[in-house]
Amino acid sequence: MTPEMTSDAAGLPTTGSGLRATGWWGMVVLIATEATLFAALLSSYFSLRSGADVWPPAGVPKPEFSLAGPGTAILLSSSATMVWAELSIRRGRQGRLRAGMAVTSVLGLVFLAIQSIEYATSEFTPRTNAYGSLFFIITGIHGLHVAVGLCMLAVVQLRAWLRHFDAERNLAVQNVSLYWHFVDAVWIFVFASLYISPRVI
C-alpha cells in the first residue's frame, strides 16, 4: 500500500494509511497470527495423512467439487470486487465503494450458503473419524473467518453510507480489504489441500 499521511494546520498527523498507520499494522499482525493457525491445522492434516495407507480413510468418500468448485470461484471473485471498492474510494468515489462492498458481501454470503449445503449433504461427519474431524474443523474455522469478514464489511458499509471515507481518509476500508484478501488466499490452500491433493497425491 502507498503510505499516506494528512496533517492539521500545525503539521501534526491526524490520519494515516498504509505503512504509517498503526491500525494497518494491527491488521497485519492479526493476519499473521491467523495464518499461523491455518498453517498448524493444515500441518495436522498432512501429518495424519502421512501415516495412512489410503486417503481419505476407507469408507470415506473424497470431497466432491460439485459444490466446493463453484463456491471457490465465487469466493475468489469477491476479492476482485473488494479491490474495485478500495480503488474507488481512493479516487473519492463513494457510490462505487458502497456498491463494491455490497457485491463482496453477497458473494461471501453465497459462499457460506454453499458450504452449509455441503455440510448438510456430506456422507461423513466430524465424528466419523480423525479425517472427518479435521475436514470440518479446517473448513469450519475458515467459514467462521468469512463470517467475521462479513461483519467487518457490514460495519464499514454503514460508515460508508455515513460518509466517513474519502480519497484521503479510508484506513478502515484498507484494513477490511486486507483481511478479506487474506481469507480468500487461505481458502486456496484449504481447497488445494482438502479437495485437490487426495486426487493427485
Task: Give residue 21's pLDDT.
Answer: 84
Task: Give residue 188's pLDDT.
Answer: 98
Average pLDDT of the residues in 169-198: 97
Q: Closest Cα partner for 138 from 48, 14, 24?
A: 48
31-200 homologous superfamily: Cytochrome c oxidase, subunit III, four-helix bundle (1.20.120.80)
Q: Tell me, what DSSP letter sits at residue 16?
A: E
**What are the extents of the domains in the chain?**
31-200
Q: Which residue has the higher pLDDT, 138 or 199?
A: 138
pLDDT in tens, 85-99: 999 999 999 999 999
Task: Give residue 200's pLDDT.
Answer: 86
pLDDT in tens, 43-99: 999 999 998 888 999 889 999 999 999 999 999 999 999 999 999 999 999 999 999
Structure confidence at residue 176 as a pLDDT band (50, 70, 90): very high
Q: Which residue has the higher pLDDT, 11 or 21?
A: 21
Task: Give residue 4's pLDDT.
Answer: 44
Radius of gyration of the chain (CA): 20
Is the CB of residue 81 less than 8 Å from the CB of residue 103?
A: yes
Is the CB of residue 186 less than 8 Å from the CB of residue 35?
A: yes
Q: Which residue has the higher pLDDT, 7 or 114?
A: 114
